[in-house]
């Protein structure tokens, strides 16, 4: 049996939006302890530019909960590539989650680089 791998290439003129919507879930002693493990891989080719916006929302009306979300965003950036990454935690002030962003950038020449993180809390 052969393994098929599908690759998709896109030319984008607008940001990629990842939206994560949380609801309190579970019942009894496990109420509010749902679990999710989404993984995203973004590959940016040599010299390409992209903007990524991650937005965290909650539909729980402000209840307190621990979102057992072990989210990973992995970025692989080719030489001369540029990624602008924004993170918008717009979930309940009583909610929390775990998030990991991993970046691998390929350098084929000596260049200056800068990593910036912008965090905003919008209510």
Please name which of 46, 57, 50, 42 lies closest in space to residue 102, comparing C-alpha atoms: 42
Q: Has residue 104 been placed in a domain?
A: yes
Structure-token pair, residue 37: 């493990």
| Rounded-to-integer distance, Cα 16 and Cα 33, Å | 29
Strands (E) across 1-123 are located at 16-22, 35-36, 39-44, 49-58, 65-77, 82-90, 95-105, 118-119
pLDDT greater than 70 at residue 56: yes
Q: Has residue 63 been placed in a domain?
A: yes
Q: Has residue 4 been placed in a domain?
A: no
| Rounded-to-integer distance, Cα 80 and Cα 95, Å | 38
For 115, list phi and psi in degrees, rounded to 5. Answer: -110, 125
Across the chain, which distance is largest between two alpha carbons, in Å?
57
Q: How many domains does the chain have?
A: 1
Q: Has residue 3 been placed in a domain?
A: no
Q: Has residue 122 been placed in a domain?
A: no
Distant-in-sequence, close-in-space partners of 82: CB < 8 Å, separation ≥ 6: 44, 48, 49, 50
pLDDT greater than 50 at residue 64: yes
Which whole number is the average pLDDT over 66-94? Answer: 80
Distant-in-sequence, close-in-space partners of 114: CB < 8 Å, separation ≥ 6: none
Q: Has residue 41 been placed in a domain?
A: yes
Q: How is residue 2 annotated by DSSP?
A: P
Q: Has residue 120 been placed in a domain?
A: no
For 28, list phi and psi in degrees, rounded to 5. Answer: 60, -135
pLDDT in tens, 7-55: 556 667 888 888 887 766 555 665 655 667 788 889 888 888 889 998 8
Question: Residue 123: pLDDT band by 50, 70, 90 thresholds?
Answer: very low
Q: How is residue 47 annotated by DSSP?
A: T
Which whole number is the average pLDDT over 83-107? Answer: 79
Domain around 59: 16-24+33-110
Mean per-residue pLDDT of the chain: 72
Per-residue model confidence (pLDDT) at position 106: 81
Q: Has residue 10 been placed in a domain?
A: no
């Amino acid at each position: 049996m052969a393994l098929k791998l599908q690759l998709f290439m896109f030319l984008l003129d607008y940001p990629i939006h990842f939206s994560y919507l949380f609801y309190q879930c579970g019942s009894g002693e496990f109420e509010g302890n749902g679990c999710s493990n989404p993984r995203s891989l973004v590959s940016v080719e040599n010299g390409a530019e992209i903007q990524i916006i991650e937005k965290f929302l909650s539909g729980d009306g402000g209840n307190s909960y621990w979102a057992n979300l072990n989210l990973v965003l992995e970025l692989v950036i080719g030489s001369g590539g540029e990624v602008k990454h924004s993170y918008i935690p717009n979930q309940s002030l009583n909610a929390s989650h775990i998030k990991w962003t991993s970046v691998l950038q390929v350098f084929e020449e000596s260049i200056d680089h800068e990593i910036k993180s912008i965090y905003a809390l919008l209510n």
